Structure formats: structure tokens, C-alpha cells
A and B are shown apart, each in its own frame.
Chain A
Amino acid sequence: MKTLVALCLLIAASLAAQTPPAAAPRPANNMLISRAVPDAAAVERGQKIFVGNCGFCHGATAQGGDSGPDLVRSALALDDERGDKIGPVIEQGRPGKGMPAFHLPADQIQDIAAFLRSRQQAAIDRNAYSILNIITGDREKGREYFNGAGRCRTCHSPTGDLAGVANKYDAVLLQSRFLYPRPRPRDAQPVRSEVTVKLASGQSVSGTLEYLDDFDVSLRDASGDYHSFSRDARVKVEVHDPLAAHAELLKKYSDADMHNLLAYLETLK
């Protein structure tokens, strides 16, 4: 038994760094989490109790081990509410399957239930998963791509608009932003297309594109006035999309190009 306890402690110590932090309360609009988020202090207590008592068989993260099943995806553990399903199993054990009985007070069983719920919710809430290290490319090759095949230099400069870009965005955001910098509502100066509408009368109006579909087009001219037009065969619409080169490049990148370019952009601090 002593060996067991020692082993459990060892597992606890070695896994502490990998175990996700206790789940923080989710905002009410988190579509993925439909059940109550357990109290963080209960999760922390429950984790210690679980690792000490259950981790040897079920694994310190409750994902199962050599002799105990996964409890994160366990139907019984998912059905549980504050220990009402797992409590009897802990108390009585499962002699037929080699699980001994554990006599734990009710509050500790509730804490274990809180820990298991947090583990389940960590697996369920995919939007909260941490992305691992993505800076794996060759920065020199990335620089070559920037100046060569990628033709990034046509519009961008590492000492101009991209100076300090690696401080502005974390690596994950930087990767998706350089691939396609989709305009976002919070952008101070969102990238907008320019448009020229040539009417049947010969009149021509230019400005920033506001709206375009198969039937209508609208723009705001240099003085801020809004204009909209119906489209037909006699109305010519010419759009200049400053992001067109990004869309074109998406078809051409190899994953190595992409990783190298990110590694290079990460040097622009």
C-alpha cells in the first residue's frame, strides 16, 4: 500500500504540469457547455483526492490507465450530478472488475465529481483548447519566400507596415492574419475594397465599396457621401480588392512555405 501511495504521489507530481488548470466559469453564451461549471476550489480539491485515490488505476487525468477505464467519456460519470452516480461506485467498489471500495466522506466524493466534470468540460469545450508550438519553420527560407516567390514585398515592408508585427499579434493570430487578413469590426482602419461604377450615361463614381451583389452596388465617395446603383449590363463595376493577392496565394502555399513565413514574421519584433 505504501508503494501504491508513493506511486500515486509520483504520478501526481509528474502530471501536475500537464493537467489543465481548474475550469473557470464559462460565459453564459458558451454553446458547448450546457451544464453548470463546477466551483474551481472544489475542482482543485477533487483533483488532489482523485490523483491520490483513483489516479493509479484511472490515470491522473481520469482518461484511464492499464487497470481502470476512462472516466472523462464514461457514461456513468457524465450522467452524474454532484456524486449521485459515482458515489455508490466509490463506496461499494466493483469487486467483479477488481475495483476496491473506497470509504470517502460525501464532500470528498462531491469534490471528485467536480474534478471529473471539469475534465469532461475541458474535452468538450474545443474553443478553449490550447494550440501548441506553431513556430517550426525556417526563418531564412521564410525571408526568401517573403522577398521572392511569395511576392509579399510588393505590398509590404518589414521595416514599414510590418515593423513590430510579431509584437502586435500572438503567433496563432499572426499565422491566420498573414494568410488572410479578414477585416474585423474592431480594426481601426479596416481594409476596404475600392470601386469604380461607370454608368450608362458615361458618368463615373469612385469610392470605398460598401456593398456588392449581383443586383446592386454601393459606395462612399471621398467626401463621405453614400451612393447606390442598380446593376445591369450597361453599368460597369470595377472592384480593386487589396486582399486579392492573399486569396491567390492561399492556393499556392505549401505548408512549409507557410511555416517558414511565420518563422520569418516572428523575427519582426
Chain B
Amino acid sequence: MKLRLAALALVGSCLMAQGLDPALLLKPPTEAWPTYNGDYSGRRFSSLSRINSSNVTAMTLAWEYRLDPGTGTLTSTIKSTPLEVNGVLYFTLPDHAWAVDARTGRQLWHYQWESHGGIHIGSRGFGMYGGWLYFETPDNYLISLNAKDGTERWHVEIADVKQEYFSTPAPIVIRNHIIVGVGGDSLDVPGYLESRDPETGQLQWRWNTTPRKGEAGAETWPNPEAMEHGGGMTWVPGTYDPELNLYYLGTGNPNPVMAGQGRKGDNLWTCSIVALNPDTGKLAWYFQASPHDTHDWDAAETPVLIDGEIDGRPRKLLAQSSRNGYFFVLDRTNGKNVVSKPYIDINWSKGLDAKGQPIGNPDKEPKPDGTLVIPALGGAANWPSPSFDPETGLFYVNASSSYSLFYLTDTNDKPEGYGGRDSGLYSTLALKAIDYRTGQIRWTHEYNRGGSSIGILTTAGKLLFTGDPSGNFIVYDPANGKILWHAHLISNVSNGPMTYELDGRQYVVVGAGDTVYGFTLLQ
């Protein structure tokens, strides 16, 4: 611990004016939003209350910024949650990065990466270390930029685009570790998480999401080839408990995605919530959300850290609204299960095993003639951020009750790629407030159309900010779901809303499609 503090002090002493004081990473986000989720907890709760339930009706547009990569069309909506450090916002699209003034939305710089290919589905944003920014590209480069002017310091390749990897997560900075993940499940490549050196980009450690021959977990795979092609991508940023020094991550689905006959077994550590030592990459514990998944239900959704109380005892907990429709609460010191309860009506589970992990119904695995499954391939929730409000004790998620047909198309003993197809049929979307102690749903706001999950922010102003599937940005009372304010944006909210305070003014920033909006109170 002493060593860690010393390392922090060292970084602190060489800060540039525009750089990030690493001490801010250990505090609730107020004047800064210095990491993907605002702080390490993943709660997306801000203690700011200048905008609150008594004055939010006076919230209005302060500025808007339209992302123009200069290439005509955007390959992705904005999925990046901006960082805000010392009055500057930093955000990304695939191959592109911007800095704008957090008070005015005025552009400071734009950086463009010359791509070598890869799937351009999204970019979740930056990590920051001192005066340096880090982001990942669809062709799997980790790029370090100078926050002052957006000039590139270096780039390193973290995965091979020719193997069908593509990278979307925002790096998470823990002391001198830049933690980066990878994505891509088209052709059965193995997943991993890496820590990179902040000064050079050199590899510090790599943790494989599937075991290699002879390693622990290998007993959950039929043979070495299956686990070396077993997928398990690391595409959503994780969370961190500084006291336990554990990094929490949800891992992606196994490969081949829908054809499980060549990988009989639980397929560790895919579709799992894992705790890793960020200094070594060593696994401390795991909990598997979907043993032997065949529905593309990554357990990559943010593992939200809750310092709560169960039966009168203070507990260090972790909660996830998982893509498979289950709400999980774990003891984050050891991974032991506290709650496993569906938060939508599902039809694929036969109950829970002794560890609280769902038992899949084999009848609902993809079939050549199709099986009807709830939720759909996109899941009950997905990467968009949920939120936990410590003042209400409620966990909030936009949950999709969705229906898909799942077809097995590759019936070989050794299938490859997806090995199956899905056909999405119908969905409804609802904002749900879940009691973390029981998994009971306290209130629900049903939207009158379907859609996929949308990111959420809660604040000490007794406000919940999120979007609906009709393009509205909405403020709710987090206690009861009453709508307090709304504005119609250019398209659906496509990132996680965030907030910060500068010069005594609180701003709420949200991205929708190709535009970033800054809201504040009328003056």
C-alpha cells in the first residue's frame, strides 16, 4: 500500500496543468469526470446537487457539439462517455478523438487515426494518466495522445485485426497500469485483458479469458483447441476497489457463438464476472453468469460496486444487470452469490446451481428449426451503463424484454464462427429500479416502444438522467420514477450521460447520434 501511495505521489509531482491529478480517480466525481464511469465504482452516481429536483425544470441547453470526422458519414453513434478534466471534455468515435471546452463546447482539437480495417461498431472513450490520453481503435491499436493538443505520442498494437479482433473499450487507468480489452467474435479467437505501461505502451501482463492446456478451468472445455478458440472478449471497461486492490470485469460470450456442440462444458471464464489483481493480472475469483452460453449473452455489463448493507451487516457488494436477464449481486471480496433474480421474464433457465449460477435449459439452445428465446440476442441489457444511487439504495437499468428465434446452422461436431443465426422479433423497453438487497423491482417505467438499453446517471440532486427509445433525454425522480423534465434530441441517447461542476455551475452532458449536448440551469 505504501508503494502504491508513493507511485501516486510521483505521478502527481510531474503533472501538467492540463493533466489529471490521479488523486481525483479515488474521489467521487465532482469537478472532474476522470474515467469512463466517473469513478472506479461504476455507480455512475454524482454527489453534485446544484441541479436538483426543485430546479431541474429550469435546465436548458448550454451548448451542443456536432461530431464531424470529415469523412461524410459516421460509422458509429457516439458511445463514448466523455472524460472531463480541468475544464476540457475528451471523447472518441472509432478512429477519431476530440477535445472540446467543457463550458462552451468549443473544439480544441481533433485527432484522426489512419485505419487498417476492423469492425467500426463503436468506441467507448478515453483513459487518462497525467497529461496523456489513451484510446483503442477498431484495428486494435492503443494510442496515446497529448491532452494539450491531441498530438500522438505513440501507438502499439494490442491485437491482430486480421484475426478478426476489433477494439472498442475505454482503457481504465489504475496507478501505472493502462488496462485494455479486446473484442471480436466472428472467427473464434481467444479473448484477453492486458495491462500496458503508461509511458511506453509495453505489455505489463496479460490475462487470458480462457485457460490453456493444463491450466485451472481447462476441465470446463473438451480439448485445448476448443479453449484456444473459445472467445470471451473484454469489451466493456471494468470497475475497481482500491481497498481490496481488485479489478472487476465482465467477460464476453464463448465461441463458436451459437453452436456449443464443439465446446461441451461450462467454458470458463467466458460469460463471467471476474476479480483480478491489477498489478499482476492474477484471477482472485470468478462467478459465471451464463455457463456454456449459446446465445451471445456476454456478461460484459458493468459490474457496479455497492457498499451496502444486508441483514444489518455492512457488505462490500457487486451488482450486474446481465445480458441474459438475471440481476446478480455478489460479495466482491470473494465472489460468493448474494442475489440471482431475473429482472425481465425469461424462458431459458431451469433455475440456479449451488453457486447461484443459472442452469441453462438445453431445449432453448439454438436448434436447426429454431427456438423462441427471451431475451433476444441483444439481451435484457447490454453495454450501456446502469446506475446505482446510494441515497435510494436502488439499481437502475433500462431493460429490454425481447424475443428472438435462434437457429443452429452449423451442425458439424466442430463448428466455426457463429455457427447459427438469430432473428429478432419484438421487444419492449422499460426503466427499472431494483432493490439490490433482494432483486425486487421497486418501480418500472414502461416505454411504449421497444429498443435496446440506454445509459443512466443518478445524482445527489435526487435526479436520474437517461434516454427513451423515442429520442428523448429524460430526468426522473429516482425514488418513484416520476418524470421531471425532458427534451427531444436529434436521436436516441447513445452514450452514458455524465456531469461535472465548473465555476459553481453544474453541467450535464449527453451524446445522441452524432451530437454531444451540454445542459445547465438557466441563469
User: What residues make up the interface of A, taking CB atoms closer than 8 Å to B?
Assistant: 31-32, 34-35, 63-64, 70, 72-73, 75, 78-79, 120, 123-124, 126-127, 129-136, 172, 175-176, 179-180, 182, 211-215, 239, 246-247, 250-251, 253, 255, 258-259
| A123-B416 contact given A34-B118, A182-B426, CB 8 Å threshold | yes
Provide the residues of chain A in CB contact with B470, threshold 8 Å: 211-214
Provide the residues of chain A in CB contact with B370, threshold 8 Å: 131, 134, 175, 255, 258-259
Instruction: Show 29 residue pairs from A and B whose CB-CB distance is below 8 angstroms, ordered by the A residue.
Output: A31-B119, A34-B161, A35-B117, A70-B225, A70-B414, A78-B160, A78-B164, A123-B187, A124-B187, A126-B421, A127-B421, A129-B420, A131-B368, A132-B369, A132-B408, A136-B369, A175-B370, A179-B372, A179-B405, A212-B449, A212-B470, A213-B449, A213-B468, A214-B474, A250-B372, A250-B426, A255-B370, A258-B370, A258-B372
Q: Which of B119, B162, B407, B411 contacts A134 (CB 8 A)?
A: B407
Residue of B nearest to A257 (CB): B372
Q: How far is A253 from B374 in the complex, measured between Cα atoms in Å? A: 12
Mask of B381-416 contacts with A, CB within 8 angstroms, 1/0: 000000000000000000000010101111110101
Q: How far is A161 from B447 in the complex, measured between Cα atoms in Å? A: 31
Residue of A nearest to B160 (CB): A79
| A214-B368 contact given A34-B119, A78-B163, A79-B162, CB 8 Å threshold | no
Is B186 located at the chain interface by the 8 A CB criterion?
yes
Provide the residues of chain A in CB contact with B187, threshold 8 Å: 72-73, 78, 120, 123-124
Is B486 located at the chain interface by the 8 A CB criterion?
yes
Q: How far is A175 from B468 in the complex, measured between Cα atoms in Å? A: 30
Mask of B423-435 contacts with A, CB within 8 angstroms, 1/0: 1011000000000
Q: How far is A120 from B486 in the complex, measured between Cα atoms in Å? A: 48
Q: Which bucket holds chain B's interface residue count? A: 35 or more
A183 CB, min distance to chain B CBs, angstroms = 12
B182 CB, min distance to chain A CBs, angstroms = 15
A222 CB, min distance to chain B CBs, angstroms = 23
Q: By the criterion CB–CB under 8 Å, are A213 and B472 in contact? A: yes
Residue of A nearest to B187 (CB): A124
Which residues between 93 and 129 of chain B lie within 8 Å of chain A, taking CB atoms?
A: 117-121
Is B188 located at the chain interface by the 8 A CB criterion?
yes
Provide the residues of chain B in CB contact with A215, threshold 8 Å: 472, 486, 488
Q: How far is A123 from B225 in the complex, measured between Cα atoms in Å? A: 17
Is B345 located at the chain interface by the 8 A CB criterion?
yes
Q: By the criterion CB–CB under 8 Å, are A250 and B483 in contact? A: no
Provide the residues of chain A in CB contact with B417, threshold 8 Å: 123-124, 126
Residue of B nearest to A127 (CB): B421
A105 CB, min distance to chain B CBs, angstroms = 25
Residue of A nearest to B474 (CB): A214
Is B363 located at the chain interface by the 8 A CB criterion?
yes
Provide the residues of chain B in CB contact with A31, threshold 8 Å: 119-121
Q: How far is A124 from B160 in the complex, measured between Cα atoms in Å? A: 15
Q: Which of B368, B405, B412, B425 contacts A133 (CB 8 A)?
A: B368
Is B13 located at the chain interface by the 8 A CB criterion?
no
Is B240 located at the chain interface by the 8 A CB criterion?
no
> What would 19 more interface pairs be, CB under 8 Å, given A131-B370, A182-B426, A239-B448?
A32-B119, A34-B161, A72-B187, A123-B187, A126-B421, A127-B421, A132-B368, A134-B370, A176-B423, A179-B372, A180-B425, A211-B470, A214-B448, A215-B472, A247-B426, A250-B426, A253-B372, A255-B363, A259-B370
Q: How far is A180 from B189 in the complex, measured between Cα atoms in Å? A: 35
Q: Which residue of A64, A75, A215 has the most chain B CB atoms within 10 A of its CB atom?
A: A215
Q: By the criterion CB–CB under 8 Å, are A73 and B119 in contact? A: no
A265 CB, min distance to chain B CBs, angstroms = 14
B287 CB, min distance to chain A CBs, angstroms = 29
Q: How far is A63 from B448 in the complex, measured between Cα atoms in Å? A: 47
B337 CB, min distance to chain A CBs, angstroms = 28
Q: How far is A197 from B28 in the complex, measured between Cα atoms in Å? A: 46
Mask of B220-244 contacts with A, CB within 8 angstroms, 1/0: 0000010001000000000000000
Q: How far is A133 from B447 in the complex, measured between Cα atoms in Å? A: 37
Q: How far is A130 from B410 in the complex, measured between Cα atoms in Å? A: 9
Provide the residues of chain A in CB contact with B421, threshold 8 Å: 126-127, 129, 131
Considering the complex of A and B, which 8 residue pairs feature the smallest CB-CB distances, nearest first?
A123-B417, A213-B470, A126-B418, A134-B369, A132-B368, A129-B409, A180-B426, A180-B425
Q: By the criterion CB–CB under 8 Å, are A134 and B368 in contact? A: yes
Q: How far is A21 from B431 in the complex, measured between Cα atoms in Å? A: 47
Q: By the criterion CB–CB under 8 Å, are A32 and B448 in contact? A: no
Provide the residues of chain A in CB contact with B418, threshold 8 Å: 126, 129
A89 CB, min distance to chain B CBs, angstroms = 16
Q: How far is A32 from B118 in the complex, measured between Cα atoms in Å? A: 8
Provide the residues of chain B in CB contact with A136, threshold 8 Å: 369
Is B295 located at the chain interface by the 8 A CB criterion?
no
Q: Which of B117, B408, B486 contacts A34 (CB 8 A)?
A: B117
